[in-house]
Structure 1
């Protein structure tokens, strides 16, 4: 669109930004003349753009004002404030609505099933927390399940996180994530390519996924069914040359079919936060703030114990201990047996036997 005046380009991008890949490519390829005529000449029925053309000078100011009243601003590659990596992808949005501040620096996308298992949510929250604590921005889609857990993990660490919406500004989806959306905006940013008030539609979410994949150098799939949108995001990331990790899971779990399939196709296994931080060239938190034994002697060397005994020995609530054990397991410091009992990994120093 280099031959189209800047103002016309920005307005056209605003009106057609969510119009679909075909229209975006036609607009991006236009070099001179009337941008609407260029799009129509590309084969789009004139009627489908008539309303947009009439609105070019009338509706755009109202749209921007409506977005601004909700705390959103409109950015394009020309105006600045547009994600740098995303601008270089094969199909970048013509423009974006942004609420909050887009963080700079390393970033990772953590995605997965809306119907995540308790394990999947724990892993997503752990990865989000450790990545944010090490200085990375956590990007996801604010959906139920894995996405929400990743955002909450980042927020718990006081780190930045970005949510990419499949709806327009002012239309939180799912509705119960209203408070989460506000927390994300305060700590990072909310992003949408759709006009204010646009409701959720099925085709919006694959479109949204290309933004998630395009914004980051690294993407992690935690859990996903065989036909999950998270796998679409992974494919898009691979197409853009991004590094894709998958969290291995049980062959008996439908939620692990997606990550296990990605591993078979060449994705890298993510066995703990350390793998992610190394890829991002970040140094994570010191091992449990320098503690030699984070379990406080509740798991003696040479013994195996069920979680209930460990929690009792530590004097801490069971859910809290389960989360700690998951972190230690992913770090390779403890081992969970098929019967659910835990023991120290080889080379780890535990507490005194008999405690």
Structure 2
């Protein structure tokens, strides 16, 4: 099997991830709910993972990191907890439904939306950010990188616009956390939402959000916190403010191990390896007759390449890659409907190859051969 679906979930984890999860499952109690060793051990696991993430993202303090089940929950928390009826929000056509659907729901309640488009290379039209600002604009919500084209957003540019107009900057880092270097302080990011099961090398069911100190986000869920039990309102201090109920301690143990592994390896070094594989695949298929590539290799990007074979349905191509060659890819719309409207691929979808530093050049060569063979069959 050759696995090129890392943009959905990174399959091969460092061994330390599973080891940490199993150890936590057998030794960790409920963090913050007692003073005996199992609960103190659980609290240390959770704090160590916060610390690792704060180091990775260059956050001011581990308390800026609150945990969630995934990026979707984190984005719902941030978007729902910061925006109110009458606010105007700028997003882009590159966004995932984890951003779009919370925004659409708020639109029904009186929030106004505008979307930055893309050019004929599927690159964001950055001049539109400034053009779309209104007197009541409250925030810019933007993906770190498109999960369809792989194009990375020029966050320094967007952050400059946000700072100029006093806007909140909310970033969906589902495709970039652990894959591209992120410095929330240098970029001026107010909220960074991430998931654990992709570039961070952690298990599914983990994720969270960085919240800039001093920024108050209304919680999506309230309930047990282990502190202030007699108060009617949920605690307001971070990270407890955004963490109601028992945390996924075994999952967070695995996430912490994955992040520590990334820090030891170096995100930049791993990204260099991923981009070498991405370029190799792109160059290998771009001249194949009938292959249509989306986006441009020249743009800064995540390790993603999407393509189609002439007019062939993307799902059929993905099935053939698996059944005939043992290659795992993702076909369809990738929960990014506006991007597909911009690309003209609503009916066809695209075939997405997404690479990891754990893949090899030999695997890339096999994928190129498979695409060429399928293209010749058409």
After TM superposition, the score normalised by the length of structure 1 is: 0.33
